[in-house]
Amino acid sequence: MTKLRVASDALAYWAMLFAFGLLPFFFIPVPWASIAQSKVALMSVLLVLSALGWIVSRLIDGTFRVPATIIITVASLLPIAYLISVLVSGSTTLSLVGTGVEQDTLAAALIWFATLILAAAAFSGSAHRSVSALHALFIGGLILAVLQALHLFFPSALSLGGPLTGQTGNAFGSWHDLGILFGFFVFLGAAVLIKGGVEGNTRYLYLTVSTISLLLLIVANLFDVWVALGVVSLVFLLLELIKRRRTSGRFAIDFRAQKYLIALVLISVFFAFFGSYVNNVLPNPLKVANFEARPSWLGTFQISKQALVSPKTLLFGVGPNTFTKEWGLHKPIEINATPFWNADFSTGIGSIPTSFVTVGITGFLAWLSLLVALVWLAYKLAFREENSPLSRLVGPLVLGVLFLFAYYVLYVPGPALSIFAFLMLGLLLAVAATANLIPMQSFELKGDWTGRVRMLGIVAFGLIFVFAGAGVARALLSDLTLNRGIVVFNNTGDIEKASSLVSRSIAISPQNDRAQRSAVQLGLLHLQKLVATADPSDENAKKLLQETISKTIQHGLDAVSSGGSAYQNWLELAALYGQLAGANIEGAYDNARNAYSRAQIENPNNPFPYLQLAQLELLQNKTDAALQYLASAVELKPDFAAAYYLASQIYALNSDFQNAIPAATSAVQSASDDPLGWYNLGTIYYASGDYGGASAALEQALLRQPQYSNAMYVLALTYYKLDRTQDAIKIFEDLNKLNPNQEIVLQALLNLRRGEAPVPDEASAR
């Protein structure tokens, strides 16, 4: 039993040590696995292994020791709050695990808590273990920093299978997450070196990682990270000055002793204000354009005000991971005037503000309790004696952890950054306990009834976490299989193979509404292929066609019943029925209208369903109804170019140019860079007989897309109408170079050179 206990304890320790070393840079080098999925898969495996090892070793030993701090108690409130919210709002896969990578689920809260407990348990009681974890982290940070530096200069060569695509591609998470991590490494590396927390050649590791991270942070050019780095560095400097006053009685800056901290503060301030100017003079590979969007504080508040309208929702929220649904129901109509009018935001301005909407006051108080407890712990540890290298790590660690957790208020950390924050919190507790700055508390698992209750509690913790890990693994495997199917289709166009992978994804997790929607889209493509190739007199072909229709419809119905993102699911089902209505399938038109109505209920301020309803009505030749829906669409979004475009087409087909031209003009005013809009306006002007207006519009289309064949053809006809025959010939010659030997173009050139109309019908109309 002793060997088993030692082996189990070693498993728990090594799994967590690998977590520190691998989390910064680990990813699966295949195009169908995202960085977030790779991180969650890695941590799920390592945490389950560590949990099993720790539980077995504790049960054999009959006792367990953890740092005696309120942090662990209040951290347990997070999964409890999420569990209560799930039970009150109705248990769904979306709230329990989601797709495995969302951070507003019960599974995510369990992973955070398990990460904290296991890190604190694995590294406490041994200075060697604690320091090894920090060394492993900086080794992982060095690999990440070097990989990122190389990727900036060689993005194609270092795409590594596909996950690292584009300038902002990296092995950690989003570009913002990466910048926050580099800011953390800059501060922690510098602070540990200043405090003398590491000795020997290891100092060069910390210096290298901190320096490279600083250089990459300059490239990242993130204002909030510079501000946060400057604030935490300034706080560290002030704490050092206060300690100096306590020991020497002086509150004066020793520039020789504090020069690195002062420099870090000044660098942070400089790049917070002038980082953009510096970024503009960097070499092109280092000019990284990053863009991200989240609702503002006001937008998040408006959603909470509309969503939390009953005592139950106010206390327990609308349900974990349901912010997207609430955004669709209650988003401000002013959003339609922005580029994000059709964005389905899954979070608010930050993780904690989001949890207020989804988990209510209960979740908000759980987060607040953790932050307050963390600040209180930082205050208690700030002025403790530092009589060993290990104790000198506590100050940098506690400020580094505060740096990370502040982003839960201001930002929405990705999976890797979220887990990393709780890893560092666990390491902080372990280091502080090992340095005797906070006490350790032992609990017996044998003897009286209290010991047996503790034993049951540990076993229950293990079972709950293993089940949570299994749920996350299932969701991840389903999504990875789906992603593989999408990649296969995009690369090969093989509908059958892609459909097989999508079906496998659904078999793994039938609640995966994204997979169900993909099955609908592939089903439609399969239907189009069958219609194009099947023999109408073949009974087997008819049977296969009917089976494919039924199967595709069932996928659409399964999507809307999955409890997922209902708005998108209803739109997909409506689009399916709309396609079938175009083929005159009985009942499809009514079902499409009903599905669009449900989509409107789920997202009342989105004009897109009205546009699609208009298209549906056009299939039934109901132009008046279509125009009414388009009017409703532009009422919600006055600059909705697609609605104006479709309305102009309807008017033009009815020769109502008096209404067609203003509608087409509104389309190009709303989307002035769209060559199709200008082409549409030009053809309507041409059909109305306004050749001057037609030439101006068509020239604008070609200005935006010089090789626009259709626009060139109509412009040449327009020039002929304007008695600009040589210009017409020049356009036709250019068109012939672009698309050689087109009979209609060659004939037009021949006619023009003979002095005739390019098209016979044009002569009488001239």
| CATH at residue 583 | 1.25.40.10
pLDDT for the residue numbered 763: 46
Give the structural domain span for 367. 2-467
Q: Strand, helix or coil at 279?
A: helix
pLDDT tens, residue by residue, 121-162: 999 888 889 999 999 999 999 999 999 999 888 877 777 667
pLDDT above 80 (res 537): no
Do 242 and 367 sit in the same domain of this protein? yes
Domain boundary among 553, 578, 606: 606
Using N-to-C axis directions, what is the helix angle for 351-358 and 360-382, rounded to 10°? 150
Count of C-beta atoms within a 10 Å radius of residue 756: 13
pLDDT for the residue numbered 447: 65
How many independent structural domains does the chain possess? 2
Do 166 and 70 sit in the same domain of this protein? yes
Q: Average pLDDT in the 606-628 region?
A: 93
> Is residue 492 a part of any domain in this protein?
no
Do 529 and 455 sit in the same domain of this protein? no
**pLDDT, averaged across the chain:** 88
Integer Cα distance of 686 and 696 in angstroms: 11
Beta bridge partners of 64: 443
pLDDT for the residue numbered 622: 92
Do 169 and 300 sit in the same domain of this protein? yes
pLDDT tens, residue by residue, 678-720: 999 999 999 999 999 999 999 999 999 999 999 999 999 999 9
Do 548 and 406 sit in the same domain of this protein? no
pLDDT above 50 (res 398): yes
Q: Average pLDDT in the 185-193 region?
A: 94
DSSP letter assigned to residue 440:
E
Q: Are 667 and 677 in contact (CB under 8 A)?
A: yes
Integer Cα distance of 268 and 234 in angstroms: 10
pLDDT for the residue numbered 651: 94
Q: Average pLDDT in the 590-608 region?
A: 91
pLDDT for the residue numbered 534: 65
pLDDT above 90 (res 81): yes
pLDDT for the residue numbered 462: 79
Model's pTM, two decimal places?
0.91
pLDDT tens, residue by residue, 433-489: 998 888 888 777 676 667 677 778 777 877 888 888 888 999 999 999 999 999 999
> Is residue 526 a part of any domain in this protein?
yes
Beta bridge partners of 440: 67
Beta bridge partners of 442: 65
Do 530 and 411 sit in the same domain of this protein? no
pLDDT for the residue numbered 436: 87
Do 336 and 403 sit in the same domain of this protein? yes
pLDDT for the residue numbered 565: 56
Integer Cα distance of 594 and 661 in angstroms: 33
pLDDT above 60 (res 756): yes
pLDDT for the residue numbered 765: 44
Token reading at 662 = 């203003």
- pLDDT > 70 fraction of the chain, expressed in percent and rounded: 95
pLDDT for the residue numbered 446: 72
Beta bridge partners of 65: 442
Longest dimension (CA), the chain: 110
Do 86 and 168 sit in the same domain of this protein? yes
Do 444 and 526 sit in the same domain of this protein? no
Integer Cα distance of 440 and 451 in angstroms: 18
Among the residue ranges 201-210, 254-263, 729-738, the one predicted with the least confidence is 254-263
pLDDT tens, residue by residue, 83-128: 999 999 887 888 999 888 999 999 999 999 999 999 999 998 888 8
> Is residue 630 a part of any domain in this protein?
no
pLDDT tens, residue by residue, 221-277: 999 999 999 999 999 988 888 877 766 656 556 666 678 888 999 999 999 998 888
Do 437 and 536 sit in the same domain of this protein? no
pLDDT above 90 (res 427): yes
Q: Average pLDDT in the 656-678 region?
A: 94
Confidence of residue 641 (pLDDT cuts 50, 70, 90): very high
Among the residue ranges 75-79, 166-170, 403-407, 475-479, the one predicted with the least confidence is 166-170
pLDDT for the residue numbered 761: 64
State phi, psi for 494 to the nearest 5 degrees: -80, 100
